[in-house]
Structure 1
């Protein structure tokens, strides 16, 4: 693989080693799904392809300066050269999927040997914007929570409509008993029995199961705000679950780092 191209000026400006800093910045957090990164000046100056996409990724807050790829860059070797990465141990990035020029998938993994690697996190560059893919356990928790919310809401709505039907029919039967002689009568007891069945099914709905155990090295976000929100909602109506990490978090809903 050819040597890595010369980094653009703004990439060099962000490198703490070139600036003469004593130490590299700390590694990025494991949960950064709430932000995206886009540098329009870089995109206007350089083409986004498989040879330069890693240099673009290296200026984002998702990049870990202690990775093996950075050591290759300091030796003027292409940072994605597997012939060199396979001989090293530690954290590294690889380009797993490419659909030039729109989509690039970058995977962070831990290498313990030439053939022994453990996936850690996944990032993707979509039309010049960089995102961190959510953890699979978070996706399952969001989808299951949303499904249980809508099922519970459907049972509540059905039970309320049955109560109104029984109340109106009871009033009409008492006010004009002769007017219902030619119509099909509704059994109030049957309505109440169905209402009772629906209510019992609603109570038996299990809560959303806890998400699977986090992978090794993953630090879940702080739950202090979530606990406060749960206490505030005890005396209020049920609210829909949190936003889906795949469907609802688009570029317009994430803060951008320029």
Structure 2
């Protein structure tokens, strides 16, 4: 809690009044003022809120409101403030008893004022509102931080996915090699099953006889076949055109 400021003190040893405190600086956004003793003693409403604000380091003792206080006039009386020129404080927005917004402005005439700074009292704590450019800079910096963090997290996850794909490919290649390995025991077992089934099947029927007028080619013509014919012409069959069962299996007529 900041130390409350006091008004002009009593005359010193030499008879001259003590000089007023220096005006506050422009950037005081890092300061929070709260006087719990005052809050426990007085209610925080629109009539006493300026007296509470005057205790904070944000208060400018050279303002027009202080001159009205020294004349026992309410410091927020607009009928008197509008007739003065210089720095003044004005109660801009009120949401009793939680929020009070006080604006510091420079008055050059009854209708001509220039805003300078803004302060707000939130549940008894007084803050200076930051400038709009500082708000944008802070928000953009925070957004960039989270975007950079998101890209870093995504990159780390993609690296893990790449490692997993590499491991899966190596495992698949190993399994493929294992699958391509021939198991001779299984081959023998399949051959045994096929041979047993073949023994159980009935014998093949005899082939039908040659048709009338068909003359099988001689052995000499069969040997000359590929050499004596052109490559593009179809070659006559060298065996039985009906079923190739071999000459040993044909029945004699």
Structure 1 spans left out of the alignment, 5+ residues: 1-10, 182-258
| Aligned with residue 14 of structure 1, among 6, 12, 16 | 6
Provide the secondary structure at the position in 2 that maps to 1:14: coil
Quick check: 2:121–2:127 contact (8 Å CA) kept in 1? yes
- Structural mapping, 1:142-161, within 5 Å: 142-161=138-157
Structure 1 residues 102 and 67: CA distance shift in structure 2, 3 A: same
Cα displacement (A) at 1:163: 2.1
Higher relative contact order (CA 8 A, sep 6+): 1
> Once superposed, what is the RMSD of the aligned Cα atoms?
2.4
Quick check: 2:10–2:18 contact (8 Å CA) kept in 1? no
Is the radius of gyration larger for structure 1 or structure 2?
Answer: 2
| Aligned with residue 128 of structure 2, among 125, 132, 140 | 132
1:77, 1:165 → 2: CA distance?
74
1:22, 1:129 → 2: CA distance?
29
Cα displacement (A) at 1:174: 2.9
2:9, 2:171 → 1: CA distance?
88
Cα displacement (A) at 1:19: 6.3
1:175, 1:45 → 2: CA distance?
78
2:45, 2:84 → 1: CA distance?
25
1:107 and 2:90 are equivalent in the alignment = no
Cα displacement (A) at 1:105: 0.9
Structure 1 residues 163 and 139: CA distance shift in structure 2, 3 A: same
2:18, 2:73 → 1: CA distance?
23
2:10, 2:137 → 1: CA distance?
43
Aligned to 1:81: 77
Per the normalisation by structure 2, the TM-score is: 0.62
Provide the secondary structure at the position in 2 that maps to 1:36: coil
2:130, 2:44 → 1: CA distance?
24
Cα displacement (A) at 1:168: 2.6
Aligned to 1:121: 117
1:37, 1:18 → 2: CA distance?
26
Cα displacement (A) at 1:91: 0.9
Aligned to 2:229: none
Structure 1 residues 180 and 31: CA distance shift in structure 2, 3 A: farther
Quick check: 1:173–1:180 contact (8 Å CA) kept in 2? no
1:179, 1:155 → 2: CA distance?
36
Aligned to 1:69: 65
Structure 1 residues 19 and 49: CA distance shift in structure 2, 3 A: farther
Quick check: 2:11–2:18 contact (8 Å CA) kept in 1? no
Aligned to 1:171: 167
Aligned to 2:31: 35
